[in-house]
Amino acid sequence: MEITLVKVFAPTALAFVVGMLLTPVISKQLYGHKMWKKKAGKGIAYGGGKTPIFDQLHKETDVNTPRLGGIVIWLSVICTILIVWLFQFIFPHSSLGKLDFLSRSQTWLPLFALLVGAVVGFIDDVLVVRGTGKHFAGGLPLSQRLLVVGATALVSAWWFYEKLDVSTITLIGHGPVELGVYFIPLFVLIALGIYASSVIDGIDGLSGGTFMFIFTAYAAIALYQDQIDLAAYCATVVGGILAFLWFNVPPARFYMTETGVMALTMSLTIVAFMTDSIAGGEGVSVLPIIGILLVLTVLSDIVQVLSKKIFKRKIFRVAPLHHHFEAIGWPGAKVTMRYWVLGFVFAAIGVLLAIAF
């Protein structure tokens, strides 16, 4: 048990240290190349139309704060994985040599998703900064990003279904539900839904804190399931997020943006399914609880768009929900802190349910 806990928590601390060491270099490059929007605001919302309230709220920070801060997270994870992998050759007879958690059965797939999201998100962020997209904000079209998420999820779902012989999900208190080949489209839909929640990246510290609690919860669930490598992977992601948060709390030195949030959401999908029926758990069923803030973010967007289309009126002053709170006068830090409180509470509830059932 002692070496197990060390294997899980040591990479967390290492990823944090690595992130803290990398950040000054990354930050210098981001500021040196002026990697921020040239014009504040969204310009065009997902549901169509302009976003005057949001643009007013973010008219100063959008054009002075660099994007691409998510590099700190995934680069910390990659460096940590390489370091602990090398330890087994440098210190073969010590505890350090037993820290490697890069395994085909547990970590290859979530790491693959993380890297795909990081690269595509990086491209999107660079295009946003260069302003070469359809609208002034630039960036890859949403349809192209959804295509990448869907394609990656499709490959992952096929791997689960064909290679790992997984065709069920486990419902809390009910047990496994056989889906057959329909497991694959469900996997893709869940991946797209999780990625849709990436719009939570909109206030200093908000997305980082939200994903920190989510990955911490899944580290605990994986540890309980004796998936030690997966638990160590999730804990390493947490370490990278903590390093990012050190510099992202108000006032943020940089924003996570697509290269970070796309990597995290795509990897989270794999982690949720890795802790489900394949491990005798309920990783997918507890996701809406552990990730309640992501669910509320997506729902608020959907409700806002439908209300505007059908009833010609808005439910929220601004969508998603966290910007509504900003619009009614809550300081950004207040929104972030209250989201963090809720994130911790629901992550704890989700872990308890996963363990109890």
Helices (H), the chain: 2-32, 52-57, 71-90, 108-130, 142-158, 183-196, 206-224, 228-248, 257-274, 287-290, 292-310, 321-327, 332-356
Number of neighbours of residue 284 by Cβ within 10 angstroms: 21
Report the pLDDT value the prediction gives residue 41, as an integer from 0 to 100.
61
Q: What's the sign of the alpha-carbon dihedral 310, 313, 319, 322?
A: negative
Count Cα atoms within 13 angstroms, Cβ side, for 149: 31
Residues whose CB falls within 8 Å of the CB of residue 283, separated by 6 or more in sequence, listed in order? 218, 221, 271, 272, 273, 274, 275, 276, 354
Q: What is the pLDDT of residue 357?
A: 80
In whole angstroms, give the CA distance from residue 355 to residue 357.
6
Round to whole Å and give the CA distance between 87 and 68: 30
Number of residues assigned to the chain: 357
The per-residue b/e assignment along 107-134, b for 16 or more CB within 10 angstroms, e otherwise, is: bebbbbbbbbbbebbbbbbbbbbeeeee
**Res 45: pLDDT:** 52
Q: pLDDT by residue for the chain (357 residues), tens digit each? A: 677 888 999 999 999 999 999 999 999 999 999 999 877 666 555 555 556 665 565 555 667 899 999 999 999 999 999 999 999 999 888 888 889 999 999 999 999 999 999 999 999 999 999 875 455 457 899 999 999 999 999 999 999 999 999 999 999 988 899 999 999 999 999 999 999 999 999 899 999 999 999 999 999 999 999 999 999 999 999 999 999 999 998 889 999 999 999 999 999 999 999 999 999 999 999 999 999 999 999 999 999 999 999 988 999 999 899 999 999 999 999 999 999 999 999 999 999 999 988
Which element (helix H / strand E) includes 168?
Answer: strand 168-171
Q: What is the spatial distance between Cα 214 and Cα 174, in angstroms, rounded to a whole number? A: 23
234 φ, ψ (degrees, to nearest 5): -60, -40
Burial class (CB in 10 A: 0-12, 13-18, 19+), 12: buried
Domain range summary for the chain, segments of one domain joined by +: 2-356
Q: 3-class DSSP state for residue 175?
A: strand
Confidence (pLDDT) at 133: 47
Q: Please, which residues have CB within 8 angstroms of residue 260's CB and are 6 or more apart in sequence? A: 69, 70, 71, 72, 73, 74, 118, 121, 201, 207, 244
Burial degree of 329 (CB within 10 A; 0-12, 13-18, 19+): exposed
Residue 16: which residues within 8 A CB-CB, separation 6 or more? Answer: 76, 239, 240, 242, 243
